[in-house]
Structure 1
Amino acid sequence: MALQKTLSLLLLLLLTLLGLGLVQPSYGQSMYLRFQRQHVDSTQRGGTSLYCNKMMQTRGMTRPRCKQFNTFIHADIGTINNICRTPNIRCKNGKMNCHEGVVRVTDCKLTASSPRNCRYQGRASSRRVVIACDGNPLVPVHFDG
């Protein structure tokens, strides 16, 4: 009986802290880590098909099926986090939590696929990107375009 009461109080405390924004749910953290895995590569210049073929496979975007299109941002995560500090703009889904900045990127477009074999064409450029940010502090959680 005392254990049930203690657990109930802990749950109430956690819900209160979540409501106040003092504790972030792991969902936001996992989305931030997923964003980094899928879109951040500060160590390479990219731009080639060889780069895309390697990175898409290494970063797990060829299983269970080939991802059609992906963009890698060639900037450190601090620079990308700073994009979240720019003024809000509307995302493709209508939410107002997107932000834009100009960075160097490699766009990887699927050109051929067969079981266990995804082939991509790479194209490097410096261009405007739009990312959705969430959390406190704001961090990138979705590449919007």
Structure 2
Amino acid sequence: MIDKVDFSKGEASFSDAVKKIDFTPILKKYRDPATVYAWLVVNDKIVSGEMMKLACFRHLQDLRRAEDPDEEFPYRYDLGRCRSILGFASIFPEPAHGKPMPLMLWQKAILCMSKAWVYKDNDNFRYTRVIVSVARATVNLISPASCCGTPT
């Protein structure tokens, strides 16, 4: 059984919670961009905001829950979908040059986190909407996430 961590009441420190949890089995099994990015964020190797830290922590915790046979967790992380969305996004052209640009780690992570989590029983997407807020300096880039809508 995975211990629950409640950050909403201020009882748990984020860094203390991360230090208490052994993510080693997850990090050995999942080497995709979302998991790598999540690990770097929760360990303060990448500077990010509170909401992104929480999303990364949830991603790592959910991977643990998905792997735990004692948990009744309705989702699974589909590495095939992760590879698929990254393959599609890698050919998406950058508007100014008309050529594909390599995705940054955070872009890969957001795509994988939003499209690779699916329901175990029917393979539908876990998340149907994702809000991504990026600093103004990158406003001229079109995100591959904008073209990857949810099927009806």
Q: Which TM-score band (shorter chain)?
A: under 0.3
Q: TM-score if structure 1 supplies the norm length?
A: 0.23
Higher strand proportion: 1
Higher helix proportion: 2
Higher-Rg structure is: 1
**Structure with the larger RCO, 1 or 2 (CA within 8 Å, 6+ apart):** 1
